[in-house]
């Protein structure tokens, strides 16, 4: 089952604009991660934020985390056509032996138009 939901399901913006995607989850977490998936390609890890962090930056990406509301947001600034993709948040739970089982949200489809 999916851990949470992304909002909006789809987003269309012009190149240069900012894109904001939100993610809500259901259970307590250790970390929350954001992934990007291009058509025909695998998932690419973007950024990880730990449960004791509130905000994290990586290049044009800014992630916030509110554990009291069980929600996170991903902001992409100055978007480019190459940012067109599906974006997923994922929370992790510890598996036997120490592995991290990722539970993904339903994803936001972002389209950046020229």
Q: Is 59 in the site for another protein (CB under 8 A)?
A: no
Q: Is 97 in the site for another protein (CB under 8 A)?
A: yes
Q: Is 96 in the site for another protein (CB under 8 A)?
A: yes
Of the chain, the end-to-end C-alpha distance in Å amounts to 36
- Residues 70-89 close enough to bind another protein by CB under 8 A: 88
Lookup result for tokens 């695998």: 42
CA-only gyration radius of the chain, Å: 14
Binding stretches for another protein (CB under 8 A):
1-2, 35, 40-45, 48, 88, 90, 95-107
């Amino acid at each position: 089952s999916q851990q949470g939901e992304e909002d909006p399901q789809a987003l269309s913006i012009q190149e240069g604009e900012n894109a904001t995607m939100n993610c809500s989850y259901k259970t307590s977490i250790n970390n929350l991660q954001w992934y990007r998936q291009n058509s025909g390609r695998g998932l690419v890890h973007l950024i990880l934020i730990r449960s004791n962090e509130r905000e994290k930056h990586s290049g044009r990406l800014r992630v916030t985390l509110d554990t009291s509301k069980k929600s996170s947001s991903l902001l992409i600034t100055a978007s480019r056509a190459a940012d067109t993709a599906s974006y997923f948040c994922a929370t992790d739970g510890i598996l036997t032996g120490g592995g991290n089982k990722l539970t993904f949200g339903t994803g936001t489809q972002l389209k950046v138009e020229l």
